[in-house]
Structure 1
């Protein structure tokens, strides 16, 4: 038995056309994105302009924004829910943390109130700004520029309210502030680190000043001392 010869289809498939590779020369680095794939030059310029305007708008939105520095003396990060601790509840700090940047490796330059806060306001180590203890040192703001002085040069008013006697104005830390409230009654006896006022009293002063200056660029330094309060166990302990 013989098989009939196979008939070729009358529908011949077209042969693929050769495609020239992209021409790359020093004058024309690449034509891979030429034609309809790449936007014309004026479209690219428009896109760059929009990006520039967006950046300017963002910068303008933050220009002259209020700056508020809140310091909670002796507050341990490892006892805050924001850092994984579950022994207390801090809903306000949690809300702030949800809308902020959280630093996990930020350390105090000195385990003492005055030199540590001078470091915060200058960006310098205690060995540089030369305030190394709560007692016996005075900060020289004429030699070391501070945050409040820099902001004043940019049109900001600055205020502060502190809750500890070791941050009293006569230590030099108040220099550069337009307003500095350190009105803390000092008892005749007791350790100097125990002289403090309630954070609620300090908060009232802060709120009052901020309300009066809210219509202009301002910087406020708000310091509370509650975690540093002396621990007085009950007689049952």
Structure 2
């Protein structure tokens, strides 16, 4: 059997034409969807990049595997400790080892492990191909490595190839000569001039005033990456460049798919398409970043084309960590006691709804938040606001307010109570099944806060005062006095 996994960074589903986006951003992914199953309510359990892939690979929530941050103690997987044995059982039962157990030759084309010093990601691969640019590479650099591998292994019967492309991740990197396929397409209409003016007053990193997190300068060598947006026209360019990078990446994916078709491998090749997280493009006042535990950051695409299995659309709630037990069931391999995932193999085999009643998703790198996704709502509880001045509770009706503009927490306490019950039940289940007695979220807070916020507040308050937002600076000093000691 041949399996191709396209691991596409920073891909929010509602900006993909295969998920109904009015712009034709992904014609080649659209064609894969037509031959497979599209999952509409698929979420990473832990955002952003490092925590998401830690959960995907280990099949365990961050509260169990320990990796929920981009720095400090919680940027590493927990050591297994007493009972480890000659091999680490968590890594021996990780996602990519599963393909080895199924009898496949495994290879990855990815710089992720080096980018985050997360070398556990490479566990299970026979071959590791790293272009060495730590995620700053473009699809034009990944494509020839992929094509060479496919050609060199054209006679191999059983393989699994993981291909990691980064293009939609900032800084946006499609070559300027690629142009703008969306220059004549309108910007999403939910961002009105009134909403934009409100966003200009937002306090917090990655606002329209500081697209570079805490600064408004464009990075050298990346002309598509703006430092700020002062007009609606400039904001449209920000939106267009995100979509351009998706389109550019999809174009290169088309070359891979066409090769599989020309070589006669496409029909019998299984293809898995997914991402690590989405991207806020105005939601919660944040642009070009994946810094919260909201619907936009944690919802990701999942597309599975598997020969002989069902096609269509699944609406159930799933985590990315559900993939590993699903594959184990499809491969007739035993489950592992420390996986938190729930198989949805019957969805692929029979079209059965295997969705969960609710999801709990977390963020520990930019803010400290946990959120409950249930019914058509998302409830977000903030423990550290990452300097955005978020309230402790937020509740959004995703059916009527997908872009999270109207916080209903004050008017619907009964829904907040329901979500809190889910959260408390989940937390109890997690701690009762944990191999340690600590919650890494509290480790992050005890060590000074999430990595991308930690230590930046004095500098950011100075900037707020210089840009007409002194009230925000004053409020942040009140909320975070410990940062000024």
Which bin holds the TM-score, normalised by the shorter protein? 0.5 to 0.7
4+ residue runs over 4 A deviation = 163-170, 234-237
Q: Is 2:123 aligned against 1:185?
A: no
Distance in structure 2 (CA, Å) of the matches to 1:206 and 1:128: 34
Distance in structure 1 (CA, Å) of the matches to 2:146 and 2:165: 11
Q: Is 2:165 aligned against 1:224?
A: yes
CA deviation string 1:13-43 (max 9, x = no partner): xxxxxxxxxxxxxxxxxxxxxxxxxxxxxxx
Question: How many residues align structurally?
Answer: 165
The answer (yes or no) to whether the contact 1:118–1:173 under 8 Å persists in 2 is yes
Q: Pick which of 118-127 and 95-104 moved more.
A: 118-127
- Name whichever structure is richer in strand by fraction: 2
Q: Secondary structure at the match of 2:42?
A: coil
Q: Which residue of structure 1 lines up, in the alignment, with residue 89 of structure 2?
A: 143
Q: How far apart are 1:165 and its partner, in Å? A: 6.6
Q: How far apart are 1:176 and its partner, in Å? A: 1.5
Measured at CA, do residues 76 and 107 of structure 1 come closer, stay the same or move farther in structure 2, by a change above 3 Å?
A: same
Q: Which residue of structure 2 lines up, in the alignment, with residue 190 of structure 1?
A: none
1:202 to 128, 139, 142: 142
Q: Secondary structure at the match of 1:95?
A: helix
Distance in structure 1 (CA, Å) of the matches to 2:168 and 2:119: 22
The answer (yes or no) to whether the contact 2:7–2:163 under 8 Å persists in 1 is yes
Distance in structure 2 (CA, Å) of the matches to 1:123 and 1:138: 15
Measured at CA, do residues 106 and 196 of structure 1 come closer, stay the same or move farther in structure 2, by a change above 3 Å?
A: same
Counterparts of 1:76-91 in structure 2, within 5 Å, are 76-91=12-27
Q: Secondary structure at the match of 1:105?
A: strand
The answer (yes or no) to whether the contact 1:160–1:222 under 8 Å persists in 2 is yes
The gaps in structure 2 that reach 5 residues or longer are 80-86, 173-224, 235-485
Counterparts of 1:48-59 in structure 2, within 5 Å, are none
2:100 to 149, 152, 162: 152
The answer (yes or no) to whether the contact 2:113–2:119 under 8 Å persists in 1 is no
Q: Which residue of structure 2 lines up, in the alignment, with residue 233 of structure 1?
A: 226
Measured at CA, do residues 150 and 101 of structure 1 come closer, stay the same or move farther in structure 2, by a change above 3 Å?
A: same
Question: What TM-score does the superposition give when structure 2 sets the normalisation length?
Answer: 0.31
Counterparts of 1:108-187 in structure 2, within 5 Å, are 108-136=44-72, 137-139=75-77, 142-144=88-90, 145-164=93-112, 167=115, 170-185=118-133
CA deviation string 1:52-74 (max 9, x = no partner): xxxxxxxxxxxxx1121111111
Measured at CA, do residues 157 and 206 of structure 1 come closer, stay the same or move farther in structure 2, by a change above 3 Å?
A: same
1:211 to 141, 145, 151: 151
Measured at CA, do residues 129 and 234 of structure 1 come closer, stay the same or move farther in structure 2, by a change above 3 Å?
A: closer
Distance in structure 2 (CA, Å) of the matches to 1:217 and 1:87: 37
The gaps in structure 1 that reach 5 residues or longer are 1-64, 187-194
Tell me which structure has the larger Cα radius of gyration: 1
Q: How far apart are 1:75 and its partner, in Å? A: 0.8
Distance in structure 1 (CA, Å) of the matches to 2:122 and 2:14: 30
CA deviation string 1:96-152 (max 9, x = no partner): 111110001101122211221222223222222222123343346823111221221
Distance in structure 2 (CA, Å) of the matches to 1:79 and 1:110: 21
Q: How far apart are 1:169 and its partner, in Å? A: 6.5
Measured at CA, do residues 181 and 167 of structure 1 come closer, stay the same or move farther in structure 2, by a change above 3 Å?
A: farther
The answer (yes or no) to whether the contact 1:78–1:84 under 8 Å persists in 2 is yes
The answer (yes or no) to whether the contact 2:17–2:27 under 8 Å persists in 1 is no
Over aligned residue pairs, what C-alpha RMSD do you find? 2.6
Distance in structure 1 (CA, Å) of the matches to 2:57 and 2:142: 19
